[in-house]
Structure 1
Amino acid sequence: MTIVIKKNGIEEKWNSHKIVEAIQKSNARVKDKYKKLTNEQILSVILYVESKLKDTEKINTSELHNVVIEALSVYNPNVCLEYKAFRNYKERFRKSFQNAAEHSNKIVYDGDKENANKDSTLNSTKQALISETLMREMMIQFELKPEWVKAHEEGWIHIHDLSSRYLNQINCCLFDMGNLLNNGFEMNGSKYLEPKTVQTAWAVVGDVTLSASSQQYGGFTIPEIDTVLAKYAERSYNKHLNYLIENKIEKNKAGKMAEEMTIREIEQGYQGFETKLNTVSNSLGQIPFVTITFGLDTNKWARIISSIILKIRKEGMGKNRMTAIFPKLVFIYRKEVNGKKDSPNYDLYKQAIECSRIRLYPDYLSLDNPETNNLAVVYERSGKVVSGMGCRAYLSPFYHPETGEEIYTGRNNLGAITLNLPKYAIESKGDLNRFYQLIDKYAQMVFEIHLDAYKKIAKSKGSTNPLMFCEGGSWMSVGYNESIEPIIKASTMSLGYIGLEEVVQYFFRESLKHHNKFALDIVKHLKELVNQASKKYDKLFALYSTPAESLIYRFQKMNRKQYGRIKNVTDREYMTNSFHLHVTEDVSVPEKIYLESPFHGVATGGRISYCEFPYGVDFNVLKQSIDYAMQKGLYFGVNVISATCCNCGYQGDFEVCPKCGSDNVTSVSRVCGYLSFGKIKGDSRYNLGKQAEIRDRIKHRTNEFKELYKYDKEYRNGETTSN
């Protein structure tokens, strides 16, 4: 009797019934009944197999299946094909499970540093990461076309958040918190009434943020939060005022007391909101990537809310007054509203800059310079602010199908896929035509992957993300059991790119600084591809300058393995994000802003520029820098290292405390668009590529604004002189 050795090593006696069952399953999948095996033929197949095993003492399952395939090919080729397909399916499933098991084991014992804002030492985070591992394998093996998987695994493209795509979720969003709060809503079976006070409103916003951010992936933005909460501050004030007057407090005194009580409510509410977002993970096992925008509303209470957000952020969080990571703060800039000395919110602008000196945030989003800034065009045309989704993504214009109104808040993105531009350059061997052919080929593949995802996401029901789709967070609502397709017609899908600096280095052996026009032409070509695809497929595709936290490492590692070390192209541990100048480029602040500003006008789906400053940089120097970036129409971020000694509380830019000598240091720095803990109690959260990139960063010179006189006419005309 032949012994069969199973995949797990267990030995069993030959059992013909198991082969009969497998053949019958394959037989059932043959659609044409006249091409199926009869029972007599199945018996003949078994006898054929047994004759082959006559002199075999032991055989493994893989060899046995080959014998069965041989027999089926003799008796019925149609069933043979189905048997092989099923066998391949099971083999793929086994391989997927094995890959998932190996990676899961690594997570359990070693953790994971792909995302710096996921603490993989926690069991809840490990659980989420292991779940993502399995979903990623399911996507690769069963959901994506083999050629798409091959392109991803060979590094031609990178499909971001591959595991999250398995659930057909949306990506980043601009959540309409005001609409949700206005009418009350239901969450987890409980009915929330509209808040009656501003402190309650802050608490509800926190609850909604944790819940809704768990039903998507990517960034969760609450646009213009000062405007959203101003009405609740007014309610708190009136409530306090009426109570004090009823208790015989003189009206003027009561008014002052009511205002103080309301301000205290706002402070306590925001402190609770900020603490919650920095300490409580959502159900995805991570701190939610939350952004709030503010600074444009001139209403009294909106101004107070903006001021309090900045005040509390500057003071720091917790016992050691550490720099908070979330929410990401974005100050919306418009010169006549907050950028001029006589503008109504100029004091808030100065307060924001004072906060950025030591806490990095806020970032600054310009609504000026419509010649190069699409967000300024939208604002001047419609009065609408396009806040950033996540760390740098922006929505394309969308008009309400019934009213014709431009809609931005309440919309979302459906994902991003990034092109490995340095790989195309190396593969082209210096042939520009070949380089652009590879861009065209893989950009088209990206659009096809997005379209495939769109069809699947469109089948999702409102119940998959009820706060967004059913309760008011979106620009329109559907029922719990209705398709979300009407909603996602307003969603964008992003074509990303990475490594322009390395592309320029490959072709010219010089940096992007010296070949700015060549790099800009590449981005313009990508933008044209996006425009063509949007028109061809009637979908909102967008060009995105990818914030590649882990991808700078993954792509570089793959390129180096395949092509070896090429100076300034593959010889570092990382490649450069999007269109940025290399972090080692010795340029001044104004020069960096000037050189990167043209890319903002082309990559309108997502872009940001940063400059490196010392901790506690001089206020006037920083203000002049931000003034200039705002004049150029940029989305601009301040980079400093904000470290706190966990032993003595000393703060500054250091790895070892200069006060007490301790290396028990927690530091905050910018990963891509978001802030992250570079170290927590001395241990780095970053992958090796990001660690190397941060080490290589140099501070940009801040004393050379006069050099712009020679090439920037707007600056020469005095448009950005510091007030």
Structure 2
Amino acid sequence: FVEQELTQLGSKDAKNDAAYVMVESLKLTERETYQAMEALIHNLNSMQSRAGAQVPFSSINYGTGTTAEQRLIMKNVLLATDAGLGGGETPIFPVQIFKVKDGVNTKAGDPNYDLFRLACKVSAKRLFPNFSFLDAPFNIKYYKKGHPETEVALMGCRTRVVSNDFDKTKEIIPGRGNLSFTSVNLPRLGIEAHGSLSRFYNSVDRTFAMVFEQLKDRFDIIAKKRVLNYPFLMGQGIWIGSDKLDPEDYIEDIIKHGTMSVGFIGLAECLKALVGKHHGESSEANELGLEIVRHMRELTDRHTQETGLNFSLFSTPAEGLSGRFVKIDQQLYGKITGVTDRAYYTNSFHVPVYYDISAADKIRIEGPYHELCNAGSISYVELDGDLTKNVDAFEKVILYMSQCGVGYGSVNHPVDRCPVCNYVGVINDVCPRCGRRDGEGISIERLRRLGVDCSCFD
């Protein structure tokens, strides 16, 4: 539009002056947008407004907007993430999720391919953004071009809300949420089955029935609340249909758009208890793993049809629960080799982190499980070395996830920071920038991701 206006100006001097104003205006807009994204990231990492004076767990999804304004915002949120916080620290929040879509950003010539490359570069340095794949069969079926509300968006390390049996016309992402989820301890069910699959499946059925009842109780409690009990979510019309309610109205019909999820933890240890091998070690064990997860998905689908409420299967991100469950089971059953002999159970359907496997094989094995876990799932691969020096390899890993049916994935790698010169990268014993040795004064900060949570070790 501005260029069209410039061509209509009469004199050469007027055109030159207008062109100068346009260039300077764009520079100013670029700078102010960067500062706005910088402020957003800073605030979301320092605003202790959550219960217990915690930083809110926030997430943003982006990657498919192609207008100049949308691209400007996405570029600058990535650049601000790359720069880090005040001392160069890696910002943990918001959890950033870059939406990967064929024809939009996956190859040279796509309008946002440059942003995908930038996202890979930033993630190789800062662990974020993660990557979601809109072309996965279970995501693309909801996608309607030109309707961003149908582009699957995720919360944090995996939560996904999109299908809606309560109202098929509202199979969208905005205005909805997950009401509650409860996780099942699969290793315990595997141990108690003593190798009998029929006994195991009976235990799964009984456990899921109990969880369904518990989740419905939770739903009934929330349903008795009124709009005035949720002044932001309902009072400000955030949830679908809540803008039509009065403060004294009950919210039961509104929260029917939400989901209730049954999660699971420790598929690998469960398989070890049942057949002696996990799905990374044996193709037969992998087939059984898929059968187990498929059975659990069928249970949630059936209960959805029976109740008209949205029940779904969740691949639990159990950073705390993984340790709690195994401690309880060690007290009950002792230390069983390959099952309860570690300090944690493996998250959801993941191949155990201690198992030696290539990134490609891990992606290939875990890919089919994503379609079964409609409440959300994520796959991680662990790569060594300084990935900022090999962004091409990083990009290949992300695109291979897309080819293997992964719905949401990320790459874990070491992130170290020298607190003296603020160098960020892989630091062994000596900082490559200032030459300071680890242990001289303040220790090197070493950031490692455990699930979605990042932990800093000195």
TM-score normalised over the length of structure 1? 0.57
Provide the rounded CA distance (Å) in 2 between the counterparts of 1:678 and 1:613: 18
Alignment counterpart, residue 301 of structure 1, candidates 69, 92, 99:
69
1:651 matched residue in structure 2: 424
**Matches for 1:154-169 after TM superposition, within 5 Å:** none
Provide the rounded CA distance (Å) in 1 between the counterparts of 2:176 and 2:61: 16
CA shift, 1:660, in A, is: 2.3
1:676 matched residue in structure 2: 454
Alignment counterpart, residue 600 of structure 1, candidates 370, 379, 390:
370
Pair 1:364-2:131 in alignment: yes
Letter in 2 for 1:376: I
Alignment counterpart, residue 410 of structure 2, candidates 637, 655, 673:
637
1:661 matched residue in structure 2: 438
Letter in 1 for 2:153: S
Count of residue correspondences = 429
SS in 2 for 1:475: coil
| Range with greater deviation from structure 2 (463-472 or 546-555) | 463-472
C-alpha contact (below 8 Å) 1:399/1:407 kept by paired residues: no
Alignment counterpart, residue 186 of structure 2, candidates 421, 445, 453:
421
CA 269–565 in structure 1, closer or farther in 2 if over 3 Å, else same = same
CA shift, 1:389, in A, is: 2.4
**Matches for 1:4-403 after TM superposition, within 5 Å:** 250-284=17-51, 285-319=53-87, 321-370=88-137, 374-379=138-143, 383=147, 384-398=150-164
| Range with greater deviation from structure 2 (481-490 or 390-399) | 390-399
Indicate the structure whose relative CO is greater, using CA pairs within 8 Å and at least 6 residues apart. Answer: 2
CA shift, 1:616, in A, is: 2.5
CA 503–400 in structure 1, closer or farther in 2 if over 3 Å, else same = closer
CA shift, 1:597, in A, is: 0.3
CA shift, 1:354, in A, is: 0.7
C-alpha contact (below 8 Å) 2:166/2:310 kept by paired residues: no
1:582 matched residue in structure 2: 352
SS in 2 for 1:332: strand
Letter in 2 for 1:640: H
Segments of structure 2 that go 5 or more residues without pairing to the other structure are 2-13
1:583-622 deviation per Cα after TM superposition (whole angstroms, max 9, x unaligned): 0121111111101000011111110000111252211111
Provide the rounded CA distance (Å) in 2 between the counterparts of 1:522 and 1:440: 11
TM-score normalised over the length of structure 2? 0.89
C-alpha contact (below 8 Å) 2:398/2:409 kept by paired residues: yes
C-alpha contact (below 8 Å) 1:615/1:642 kept by paired residues: no
SS in 2 for 1:437: helix
2:174 matched residue in structure 1: 409
C-alpha contact (below 8 Å) 2:63/2:115 kept by paired residues: yes
Letter in 2 for 1:427: E
SS in 2 for 1:468: coil
CA shift, 1:348, in A, is: 0.6
Provide the rounded CA distance (Å) in 1 between the counterparts of 2:39 and 2:128: 18
1:153-186 deviation per Cα after TM superposition (whole angstroms, max 9, x unaligned): xxxxxxxxxxxxxxxxxxxxxxxxxxxxxxxxxx
Pair 1:497-2:260 in alignment: no
C-alpha contact (below 8 Å) 2:196/2:274 kept by paired residues: no
Letter in 2 for 1:669: R
Letter in 2 for 1:428: A
1:30-86 deviation per Cα after TM superposition (whole angstroms, max 9, x unaligned): xxxxxxxxxxxxxxxxxxxxxxxxxxxxxxxxxxxxxxxxxxxxxxxxxxxxxxxxx
Letter in 1 for 2:345: M
SS in 2 for 1:378: coil
Provide the rounded CA distance (Å) in 1 between the counterparts of 2:40 and 2:379: 28
Letter in 2 for 1:393: T
C-alpha contact (below 8 Å) 1:644/1:665 kept by paired residues: yes
Provide the rounded CA distance (Å) in 1 between the counterparts of 2:143 and 2:228: 34
1:420-461 deviation per Cα after TM superposition (whole angstroms, max 9, x unaligned): 010011111111111111111110111001111111101112
CA shift, 1:475, in A, is: 2.2
Comparing both structures, which one devotes a greater share of its residues to helix?
Answer: 1
Provide the rounded CA distance (Å) in 2 between the counterparts of 1:461 and 1:499: 38
State the structure with more CA Rg.
1
SS in 1 for 2:233: helix
C-alpha contact (below 8 Å) 2:322/2:347 kept by paired residues: yes
C-alpha contact (below 8 Å) 1:368/1:632 kept by paired residues: no
Identity in percent: 33
C-alpha contact (below 8 Å) 2:162/2:172 kept by paired residues: no
C-alpha contact (below 8 Å) 2:256/2:309 kept by paired residues: yes
C-alpha contact (below 8 Å) 1:375/1:386 kept by paired residues: yes
Letter in 2 for 1:678: C
Provide the rounded CA distance (Å) in 1 between the counterparts of 2:341 and 2:50: 39
**Matches for 1:447-486 after TM superposition, within 5 Å:** 447-477=212-242, 478-486=245-253
